[in-house]
A and B are shown apart, each in its own frame.
Chain A
């Protein structure tokens, strides 16, 4: 077993065990979406129109809030020290942790999205497209959020710092995610351009996120 898969599997296993909080993000997502109709009224037509936007906002908040503990737990028990002493470049270790995090918190969001879409009266065919955009876009959220998680650990500060740092940087993902979803559902703009840009954002953050996060962890050294 390589160090990369060992770390990936350990993190997945940890978040599936008791106290790991793998499904916490999905639960938060459900609650946020449930709250929306109370704020904007139960008008099904309106909900259907802004449904994709609600789902995207909910997914954005859920995936960022779950990131808070990504490195903090390893720092608390001394594991982070040993992760830095591995043969594997820290960037790859960070990538493995991020992938595990996306699999256990991002992917459940994508999976429950169609169910929540039904509650928002988004029609079934359209829901497929929205889910596709979430599948393509949530990795970008995780990898951008990774940088914030690393920075808040380097400063030994958790809580609200991470969303304050990271949410402005997620504006492009939100724009293209919702645009692609809306293009697929109501048109008239084509689905292709925003969706490909969304994929590009995910791929670019897949590379840049771990590099910046590893730099933040290294520079967090005293």
Chain B
């Protein structure tokens, strides 16, 4: 499986965010998108996720499911956690697992993987920012999809959680998945390649 972008352009609200961006990520590879604020890191991820219109260039996926769009084979973790505070941790995760097409109803392993199993019955309103972030990462484990699009995944996470996330990402890559992550600093994946957006600054 390989995700190819060629000469991609993005414009939001009539303002050109970036143009001429090209990259290619294959199974087992990770791409870290870097650049100053406003260079379009988040926009690039949202564009791959099908949430922002492609203003120019091409984006295609080789070796994926032919009938599904890229967005339908991708997980997106943005700045917002997509959690409902009145639902419990378990209900939140179970819903997204079912909606995003998980095969099994069992969410225990996913909660275990992010260290939230003990809090399954607690309403999500009581979670800290880091726990919320971990819960939204749990959905990547609960409903397997080959492409992970992670926007600043390590923000709000403490060091042990970051280590756990790196572990999950390594496992995902080893299982033939691919990752595109936007980050300010290193995210702990040593073999990741870097794509720098915008002018240096």
Contacts and interface: CB of A to CB of B under 8 A. Distances in A.
**Do A's and B's CB atoms come within 8 Å in the complex?**
yes
Nearest to A219: B53
Interface of B: 12-13, 46, 49-53, 68, 71-72, 74, 76, 78-84, 86-87, 91, 94-96, 98-101, 105
A10 B72 contact: no
B71 A85 contact: yes
A13 B82 contact: no
Contacts of B83: 77
Interface in A56-115: 76-79, 81-88
Contact of A87 (B68, B81, B87, B95): B68
A10 B84 CA distance: 10
B80 A77 contact: yes
A125 interface: no
A77 B51 contact: no
A77 B84 contact: yes
A86 B78 contact: no
Contacts of B82: 77-79, 81-82
Contact of B99 (A18, A76, A78, A83): A83
A13 B98 contact: no
Interface stretch (A1-9, A126-134, A172-180, A200-208): A1-9
Contacts of B79: 78
A14 B86 contact: yes
Contacts of B84: 10, 14, 77, 79
A13 B87 contact: yes
Nearest to B81: A78
B71 A17 contact: no
Contacts of B94: 6
